[in-house]
Amino acid sequence: MIATLQGVASPANGSLWTATTRPTVPSSSRPTADMTSTSPEDLIPRFKFERLLRQDQAGCRIVLLGTITSQPALLLAERAAFPSDSTHLTSFPTSLSHIKNLGDNDIYRWYLACTSPSSSSPPGADADALAQPHDLKINLIYPCTSSHVKKYSAQGVRLVTETAAIYAAHIRPYMRAKREEGRLNWVFNILEGRTEQEDVLFRSPPDTPNEERFLMLPDLNWDRKTVGSLHLLALVERRDIWSVRDLRKGMVGWLRTMRERLGEVVVGMYGERGVEGDMLKFYVHYQPTYYHFHIHVVHVGLEAGATQAVGKALSLENIIGQLETMAGGDEAGMADVDLSYTLGEASELWTEIYLPLKEGRKPTVP
């Protein structure tokens, strides 16, 4: 028997698990009359867990093996979509319990929380044993800017091709302007040891050559527990590389060294939990969220969402291969090629650069 469990909106706690069952066993071993007389709603509480078969979608879906009245059963559970009506959204922040801060830097903060109401523990109970597991990962940006609002709002998406000429004339000056606005202060705070040091998982030893120094942080979207959804960020300490556009043919050796070292560090940290070198993917974003070179390291089991999508992520191995076979000397590089990527229609890059170019107008930022 397979029971598929899915969540639906509930005023009490935001989700209510319901189930449907489908017989999948041969007719010779179908449930007995006693079992078929049981109502569907009564089956789920009678499920006896044996083992976890799979956890995916960044930990939001599980497949359990067990039994119901001594017959094998599979239970598939997946978190439901959030309710979108005003009543639920207004009360959502105050309905959360067991809020735990994971870290903060500048205007960014991230937490774990529970959506279910807090329940009182019986006298003498072990609080740790009865602790309710967190079922939400929350990011808070406060105070946020209009740019943040645009970035996170629902909007149309466009595919653009950034030529070498567009990069040199418009995108590079745009990057420079954003860096000079102080957009990287929070990155430099981490690199210089002023903030978020409790979240630094690894920092290169002092005797490491300056160009090879980096530190490793958990990505804001990782719950820091589920290995199958492992997502780390490696921030290089050198500041001359703003994005993939700054990578040149003469840097192939450096990139290979970084790729090897990153793999060694991650396996060193999570090898005891089953992570091996060929279970890791390395990529960079273009356009990146911020203009300081960083490399994403994720578990191969992490389902490819927007962060790994075509039009956003570039494989580090593919970048190395492209540079290695590129015509020209050591100064030839990614600044000389066309790069295609997606942009939201509310983003500055679209409204201030690509839309004017499309309409034959002059971009409003350089």
DSSP 30-52: PPPHHHHTS-HHHHGGG-EEEEE
Which residue in 78, 94, 5 sits closest to 45, CA to CA? 5
Q: What is the per-residue DSSP string for 206-273?
A: TTS-GGG-EEEEE-TT--SS-GGG-EEEEEES-SS--SGGG-BGGGHHHHHHHHHHHHHHHHHHHGGG
Alpha-carbon span 80 to 275, nearest angstrom: 29
What the chain holds in terms of domains, given with CATH numbers, is: 2-78 (no CATH), 96-141 (no CATH), 155-358 (3.30.428.10)
User: Is residue 361 predicted with pLDDT exceeding 90?
Assistant: yes
Comparison of pLDDT for 195 and 29, the residue scoring more: 195
Mean pLDDT of 70-79: 90
Residue at token pair 């290979």: 256
User: Is residue 331 predicted with pLDDT exceeding 80?
Assistant: yes
Comparison of pLDDT for 131 and 162, the residue scoring more: 162
What is the band of 178 on the pLDDT scale with cuts at 50, 70, 90?
very high
Alpha-carbon span 144 to 108, nearest angstrom: 9
**pLDDT value for 1:** 53
User: Is residue 34 predicted with pLDDT exceeding 60?
Assistant: no
User: Is residue 13 predicted with pLDDT exceeding 50?
Assistant: no
With a threshold of 0.75, does the pTM exceed it? yes
CA distances from 269 to 74, 138, 217, 302 (A): 33, 25, 12, 18
User: Is residue 4 predicted with pLDDT exceeding 60?
Assistant: no
Least confident of 79-83, 97-101, 260-264, 358-362: 79-83
Close Cβ partners of 330 (under 8 Å, ≥ 6 residues apart) = 248, 249, 250
Alpha-carbon span 199 to 100, nearest angstrom: 14
**pLDDT value for 134:** 81
Alpha-carbon span 151 to 346, nearest angstrom: 7
* CA-CA-CA-CA torsion sign (26, 32, 36, 39): negative
**pLDDT value for 101:** 87
CA distances from 138 to 71, 103, 146, 221 (A): 39, 11, 20, 8
Least confident of 5-9, 48-52, 300-304: 5-9
Alpha-carbon span 210 to 186, nearest angstrom: 21
What is the band of 281 on the pLDDT scale with cuts at 50, 70, 90?
very high
Comparison of pLDDT for 340 and 143, the residue scoring more: 340
**pLDDT value for 115:** 83
* CA-CA-CA-CA torsion sign (79, 85, 89, 95): negative
Mean pLDDT rounded to a whole number for the chain: 85
Q: How many CB atoms lie within 10 A of CB 333?
A: 19
For 237-268, how does the pLDDT look when each residue is reduced to its tens digit (9 = 90+)? 999 999 999 999 999 999 999 999 999 999 99
- Residue 70's SS3 state is coil
* CA-CA-CA-CA torsion sign (44, 49, 51, 57): positive
| 294 classed as catalytic | yes
What is the band of 177 on the pLDDT scale with cuts at 50, 70, 90?
very high
Q: What is the per-residue DSSP string for 309-321?
A: -TTTEEEHHHHHH
**pLDDT value for 3:** 52
Amino acid identity, position 176: R
Single out the catalytic residue among 134, 170, 231, 294.
294
**pLDDT value for 2:** 52
C-beta of residue 306 within 8 angstroms of C-beta of residue 323: no
Mean pLDDT of 132-160: 87
